[in-house]
């Protein structure tokens, strides 16, 4: 009964001071909206990266000429390395018993035509037919090319959705002939649309062709040659990586006291690196946006102090009628919490809407984040308690006799 009465009194006090309450509400709402937007957007981007890397699977790893560099000097040393050779494929197959599947991977940029339509700067990727068993390639139409087409160097193509939209829109793409740098390739499949990552280059602007066919048209791959390898199991992943490392060091004549002149990476390594380089960035953005929350909290405290001063006589009357200190304290805390929590709830909704709009601009989607929602509500509640406690305690400690004589 007492709690309900205190809530009603607090609510009536807020309604009777609309302008003051509105300014408090607005300050908290803006602060929570900014924090919610940043947290939701960052979680959305992190989720997109994780989803992208998840297609590799936990037992897959890469062998590359250049890996992750944390300094400019380290990067300069990496680009001096010799390119990887296609001949390494057979060495790894023969010498790595814990490697289940392997595909060389390379690529170039080329002009692609269909009839009178042309698409420049398409990413032409080359891999073995077993790539679909190593990486989770999602097929929208048709199929990926098969080992027989690889063996006989057939000109077949597995295209991205952007290529289909620009060159074969409104047509059944399967069986159509595209020209890649003047050579005709038959479309056998279309990949599921992926969009772009962080607003960068479109992830659907590609064409996969058999590795043997690529070598026939474009010649030996250069510095962009790499290998994608799948270990037999997660338990044997490290053993497979070690076996590949020994094979490549021997083939490339790396002295025992020198570091590898190649890089072996897993999806977890890439994700850990991305988290490291974005951690400071994320904390900085959240810190900057939190300034508005501190300002909002100060506004809450100042307005509540004004409210206490204006209602000194009311507090004196209530105390003289039997209200205890804790009742006055709870009443003013309720007023502060109602304002901040309402502002926080609306800020959570607005923040998510803004974050989703920003993600749509870079062709990414996000879902409501439990972490972001809990953070927004917790922050607004915390501000109401922290910045509302001093005015509430001041009101609760007023001497009733002095309060009744206040003009």
Domain boundaries, the chain: 2-52+273-404, 82-261
Give residue 144's pLDDT. Answer: 96
Q: What is the mean pLDDT of residues 112-128?
A: 93
Sign of CA dihedral 231, 237, 242, 243: negative
Confidence of residue 359 (pLDDT cuts 50, 70, 90): low
Give residue 367's pLDDT. Answer: 60
Give residue 120's pLDDT. Answer: 92
Does residue 165 have a pLDDT over 80?
yes
Q: What is the mean pLDDT of residues 376-402?
A: 77
Give residue 29's pLDDT. Answer: 78
How many percent of the chain have pLDDT more than 90? 36
Q: What would the two tokens of residue 71 be?
A: 């300094």
Give residue 160's pLDDT. Answer: 93
Please state whether the predicted TM-score (pTM) of the whole model is above 0.85.
no
d(CA 254, CA 82): 11
Q: What is the mean pLDDT of the chain?
A: 81
Give residue 374's pLDDT. Answer: 78
Q: What is the mean pLDDT of residues 83-94?
A: 92
25-51 confidence digits (pLDDT tens): 777 777 777 777 777 777 666 666 666
Confidence of residue 376 (pLDDT cuts 50, 70, 90): confident
Higher pLDDT residue, 375 or 232? 232
Give residue 199's pLDDT. Answer: 47
Give residue 330's pLDDT. Answer: 79
d(CA 306, CA 381): 21
Mention every residue, 6+ apart, whose C-beta is less than 8 A from residue 159: 173, 178, 187, 189, 190, 191, 206, 207, 208
Mention every residue, 6+ apart, whose C-beta is less than 8 A from residue 65: 78, 81, 82, 83, 84, 223, 225, 226, 262, 263
HEC profile for 108-119?
Answer: EEEEEEECCEEE
Give residue 337's pLDDT. Answer: 81
How many percent of the chain have pLDDT more than 70? 81
d(CA 387, CA 340): 10
CB atoms within 10 A of CB 322: 7
Does residue 125 have a pLDDT over 50?
yes
257-308 confidence digits (pLDDT tens): 898 999 998 877 776 776 776 676 667 766 766 676 777 778 778 877 877 7
Give residue 50's pLDDT. Answer: 62
Higher pLDDT residue, 6 or 166? 166
Q: What would the two tokens of residue 109 be?
A: 């940029």
186-245 confidence digits (pLDDT tens): 999 999 987 665 444 567 899 999 999 999 999 888 788 999 999 999 899 999 999 999
Q: Which of 325, 316, 314 is nearest to 12 (CA)?
A: 314
């Amino acid at each position: 009964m007492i709690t309900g009465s205190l809530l009603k009194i607090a609510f009536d006090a807020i309604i009777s001071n609309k302008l003051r309450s509105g300014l408090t509400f607005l300050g908290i709402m803006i602060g929570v909206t900014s924090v919610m937007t940043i947290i939701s957007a960052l979680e959305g981007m992190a989720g997109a990266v994780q989803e992208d890397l998840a297609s590799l699977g936990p037992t897959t790893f890469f062998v590359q000429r250049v890996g992750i560099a944390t300094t400019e000097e380290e990067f300069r040393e990496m680009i001096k390395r010799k390119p990887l050779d296609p001949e390494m494929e057979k060495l790894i197959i023969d010498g790595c018993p814990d490697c289940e599947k392997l595909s060389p991977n390379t690529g170039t940029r080329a002009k692609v035509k269909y009839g009178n339509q042309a698409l420049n700067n398409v990413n032409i990727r080359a891999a073995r037919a077993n790539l679909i068993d190593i990486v989770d390639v999602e097929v929208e139409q048709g199929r990926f090319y098969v080992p027989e087409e690889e063996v006989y160097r057939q000109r077949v193509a597995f295209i991205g959705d952007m290529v289909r939209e620009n060159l074969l829109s409104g047509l059944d793409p399967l069986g159509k002939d595209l020209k890649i740098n003047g050579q005709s390739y038959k479309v056998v499949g279309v990949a599921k649309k992926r969009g772009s990552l962080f607003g960068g280059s479109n992830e659907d602007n590609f064409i996969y062709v058999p590795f043997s066919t690529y070598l026939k048209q474009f010649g030996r791959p250069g510095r962009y040659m790499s290998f994608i390898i799948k270990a037999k199991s997660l338990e044997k992943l490290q053993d497979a990586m070690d076996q590949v490392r020994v094979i490549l060091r021997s083939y490339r004549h790396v002295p025992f006291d020198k570091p590898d002149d190649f890089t072996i990476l897993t999806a977890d390594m890439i994700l850990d690196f991305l988290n490291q380089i974005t951690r400071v960035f994320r904390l900085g953005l959240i810190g900057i946006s939190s300034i508005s929350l501190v300002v909002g909290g100060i506004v809450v405290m100042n307005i509540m102090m004004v409210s206490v001063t204006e209602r000194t006589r009311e507090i004196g009357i209530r105390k003289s009628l039997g209200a205890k200190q804790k009742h006055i304290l709870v009443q003013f805390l309720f007023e502060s919490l109602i304002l901040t929590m309402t502002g926080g709830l609306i800020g959570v909704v607005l923040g998510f809407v803004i974050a989703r709009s920003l993600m749509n601009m870079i062709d990414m989607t996000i879902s409501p984040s439990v972490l972001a929602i809990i953070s927004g509500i917790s922050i607004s509640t915390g501000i109401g308690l922290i910045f509302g406690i001093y005015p509430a305690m001041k009101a609760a400690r007023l001497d009733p006799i002095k309060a009744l004589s206040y003009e």
